[in-house]
Structure 1
C-alpha cells in the first residue's frame, strides 16, 4: 500500500565481478546498488514506477571487500509533490559477524512517473521523531544548496 513502506534494506555478498584494479569493490558497483535500493524504496513508498533524478553528496568512507556482506538502506527523508528524497547508507562487513561498518552514504531524489513518463503525485511523508524532523530539515537545506550549485555548474555546460 503506497505511503506505508518508508525504508528498504537490500543485503547481498560482494562478488569478485565487482572488484576494481586495486582489489576492492569498484565505486561504480556501490553506485549501482544505491540506485537499486533507491528505486525499490521509492517505488514501494509511491506505488509507482520511479526514475532517478539526482544522486549527490556521495561519500566513499571505507572500501567494500569481496566476500563482505553488504547492506544498502534507503529511507524516505522528504517528499515533494512528485519526488522523494532518500537518505542512503551502505554498510559492509564479514558475513559471519553482525557488525557492519559504514562504507558509503548519499542522498538520492526519485520521481514517480506514469506510463508516459510524466511525474505524478506521491504520498506525503510526515516526520514524527526528532531524527525524522532533522533529516527532513536537512533535505530542505540540501535542496537550497543544489539550486546554487546548479547555477554554478551551468558555467561548465557548452
Structure 2
C-alpha cells in the first residue's frame, strides 16, 4: 500500500495557550502517519531521517475532525520519500481544509540499525508523477542549502 490516512478528533489536551492544536502535536501526527506508510511499504522497521518543507496553512481547532494522509512519493535504494498532508474541518459540514503539509524521508533498517533495501515504487498517474517531482525539488533545495560553500 502506497498511502495511509489516519483520522481522529482534535482533543482538548492538544491545545496551546492560543486555544489551537500545538504545532508539535501536528508534527507528531505527521511522523506517525509517515511511519505507518513507510513501514507498510517496506515491511520493516523504519526511522525518520529527514523532515522538510513543512508548511502550516491554518490552525486546527478543538473538536475538528483531523485527517493525516501519508503518500509514497518515490523510493531510493533504502529510503522512502513520503508526502504528508493534514486536513481538518467541522464534522457536521463535511468540508476539510488543508492545515499542514511536508515531506518526510524514512529509511528501512534491520535490528542493528543498518539500512535495508526497499521495493521500488514507480509513480503511474500524472498526480503521482507531480508528487514525485515536488518531493525531489524539496530535497534538492534542502541539499543545496546545506552544501558546503567554498
TM-score, normalising length: structure 2: 0.95
- For residues 97 and 73 of structure 1, the distance between their equivalents in structure 2, rounded to whole angstroms, comes to 20
- Deviation track 1:34-88 (CA, whole Å, cap 9, x = no partner) reads 0000000000011010110111111110110011110000000010000000111
Deviation at 1:142, TM superposition (A): 2.5
- For residues 81 and 123 of structure 2, the distance between their equivalents in structure 1, rounded to whole angstroms, comes to 13
Residue 53 of structure 1 aligns with which residue? 49
Residue 27 of structure 1 aligns with which residue? 23
In the alignment, does 2:97 pair up with 1:101?
Answer: yes
Superposed CA RMSD in Å reads 1.3
Residue 126 of structure 1 aligns with which residue? 122
Residue 110 of structure 2 aligns with which residue? 114
Q: 2:132 aligns with which of 127, 130, 136?
A: 136
- For residues 17 and 117 of structure 1, the distance between their equivalents in structure 2, rounded to whole angstroms, comes to 34
Deviation at 1:133, TM superposition (A): 1.3
How many residues were matched structurally? 149
In the alignment, does 2:58 pair up with 1:62?
Answer: yes
Residue 77 of structure 1 aligns with which residue? 73
Residue 151 of structure 1 aligns with which residue? 147
Stretch moving more, 142-151 or 88-97 = 142-151
* Conserved 8 A contact 2:52-2:138: no
* Conserved 8 A contact 2:72-2:80: yes
TM-score, normalising length: structure 1: 0.90
Residue 91 of structure 1 aligns with which residue? 87
